[in-house]
Each structure stands twice: as structure tokens, then as C-alpha cells.
Amino acid sequence: MKVVILAGGRGTRLAEETVARPKPLVEVGGQPILWHIMQIYAHHGFTDFTLALGHLGEYIKRYFLDLYTVKSDLTVNVGSGEVTVHERPGFDWRVDLVDTGPETQTGGRLLRLRDWLQEGTFMLTYGDGVADIDLGAVADFHRSHGRLATVTAVRPPARFGGLVFDGDQVSRFTEKPQTGEGWVSGGFFVLEPEVLDFIDGDDTPWERAPLERLSSDGQLMAFRHDGFFQSMDTVRDRTLLESLWKVGDAPWKVWT
């Protein structure tokens, strides 16, 4: 099953990190967040990727062009330019790198991939969120219900401590609860190609009209994920992910 990753946004809320590189290449633990996301999918057996590029997309192309040689042991004959590869990296990934425009909205990027999505059911996610989600179980759930779209629902950590009232008196102060009040989209989708018909054009955000129309037509189902989820929207989010990685407590690291 093909995995589409939307990797073309500007990452304006992470501007300190994205001035000179696209958001998916911002590093956590010395590796781009994009690498972490792809490792999660690969762990579950999904290794056929299509990346929808946009802002600074040439940097992502260079990253993958260099990945093989950078991760391999090499002998270089400087005089002839001959390169002998010895120990190869352990990645068995196929990666399509498709320019979908610097200003295209998320839905428009997906629509521009229509010719790349002719083989049936595919997965979709963003280039900035990680989770300890069982993607095989999400795919099985999608196949079981027969609708056009599955979204993964998550309950992100609350940002602030909780107050418990007795009238106007605060009877108890709680540390930040593990999960917030409601369910939100975690950005891990399983989709049928027909969802592209719900996207009008380049200016269509995937998160607005297409999902609303799929929902109103009874074609959107939710897979509830109670485990870890964290998007990297801000410098604070990146710092959190980095700190979890450094202390060896990164729940999204499901691979070995």
C-alpha cells in the first residue's frame, strides 16, 4: 500500500528552524522528523512512499539522493571517480519525490498526485507528526468498514494543569492530564482514490471541505488511538520530542 506524505508546507510556526530548510527536515535526535515518520511506516511493512513536495522541496530531493551514499561504507578512487559500495544501509524504501507547487494547499497537493495513486487504497499523513500507532491495524480497520476514508482520532496531551472546582473555590489542582478533553485528527489516514473527487483544486485544504463532505456523505470513519501522538508545530513541540529522544523515552520509536 502506497504511503503519501504531505511535505510541502512552509512551517511558519517553526520559523526558527525552517528559515533554511523545509519543516520535514527539521531534526529530532540527529535525524529529520520525516525519517522518523517513514521509520514508523516501514516498521509496519509500508515502504512505498510518495512525497508531495513544495516549499524548499529541492532540499528533500537532495536528502534522499545522498542518503544511500551517506549511510554506506565506500571506497572512492579519486583519480577515476569510481565508487565501490561496501556495507549498504538497511533501508528498503521506494520514494517518489513529486513537486506539487510551493503555494498549493494540502488537498491540492493530494489532488496533484492523482496519476501516482492509481493502484487502489493508499495511506496519507503529514511530514510533522509521530505516534506509536499500529498502522497495520488502521489498514485492517479501513478494509473492514468499506467506506472511502479512515482518519486516526487521537487525544493529545493537555497543555495546562487542570482545575477542579467546589463552587468558586479550587478544590484540587491536577498536573497536566495525559489526554485532553476531546478527539482530534491525528493525521494518519487510509483512503480510497475516490476521495480525490472531493477536492476542488490547488486552493483546497484537505482538512476543510473534503473531510466535511466525506463526513456528511457517511464516508469517513475514525480509528481511535489512545496511545502516544505528538505533532511538531512549534519550537516547543520540537524541544519536547528532542528531550524524549535524548532520555530514551521516545514512544514513537517502534522500530529496532
Model confidence pLDDT, tens digit, residues 192-208: 999 999 999 999 999 99
With CA atoms as reference, report the closest residue to 236 among 14, 45, 69, 62. 14
Model confidence pLDDT, tens digit, residues 119-150: 999 999 999 999 999 999 999 999 999 999 99
Query: Does position 171 have pLDDT exceeding 90, yes or no?
Result: no
Model confidence pLDDT, tens digit, residues 156-168: 776 666 666 777 7
Question: Could you tell me the domains of the chain?
Answer: 2-246 (3.90.550.10)
Mean pLDDT of all residues belonging to the chain: 91
Rounded to whole angstroms, the Cα distance separating 95 from 109 reads 16
Cell of 6: 504531505
pTM of the full predicted structure?
0.90
Cell of 84: 565501490
Query: Does position 22 have pLDDT exceeding 80, yes or no?
Result: yes
Q: Is 70 exposed, middle or buried (0-12, 13-18, 19+ CB in 10 A)?
A: exposed
Model confidence pLDDT, tens digit, residues 66-99: 988 888 899 999 999 998 988 777 788 999 999 9
